[in-house]
Amino acid sequence: MSPKIVMTGHNRYRIMTNKLDPSVEPGEPMFYQIRLQGHLSPQWAAWFGGLTITLEEQGVTLLTGPVADQAALHGLLKKVRDLGLLLLLVNRVEPGQAGVSEIHKTDQYHSKKES
């Protein structure tokens, strides 16, 4: 008979809270910056459904804009994966900060939301 192993300090069964973020109104989209390694051409703007594509220095692309919910965010990340691009950063930002980038912007492409 083998000895029983007991895991201590393991947070496997910790409780998640159901508290909502008070700074976000239910039903309002969240704004995100998604930074990728590699430049996307303007032809990809429509595929990312309403996000602004900003080409930055050192071959970095910044996708910025509203994302309806977590499912939509996961859908965007799936598209990034499907393109084979390296994901550098996903950052939730305040709507007023959504267009701000720490790196010098070289070019921007805006997509039109499809109805």
Task: Indicate the domain borders of the chain.
Answer: 30-110
Closest CA to 74 of 90, 50, 96: 90
**Mind listing the pLDDT tens digit for each residue in 14-58?**
555 556 566 666 678 899 999 999 999 878 888 898 799 999 999
Q: How far apart are CA 21 and CA 18, in angstroms?
A: 10
Q: How far apart are CA 33 and CA 113, in angstroms?
A: 17
What pLDDT, on the 0 to 100 scale, is given for residue 111?
A: 42
**Mind listing the pLDDT tens digit for each residue in 60-103?**
999 999 999 999 999 999 999 999 999 999 999 987 665 544 43
Place of tokens 């703007």: 45
- Dihedral pair phi/psi, residue 104, rounded to 5°: -55, 130
Enter the tokens of residue 6.
């007991």
Q: Could you tell me the fold of the domain covering 30-110?
A: Alpha-Beta Plaits (3.30.70)
Q: How far apart are CA 31 and CA 90, in angstroms?
A: 11
Q: How far apart are CA 80 and CA 101, in angstroms?
A: 20
Coil, strand or helix at 86 = strand
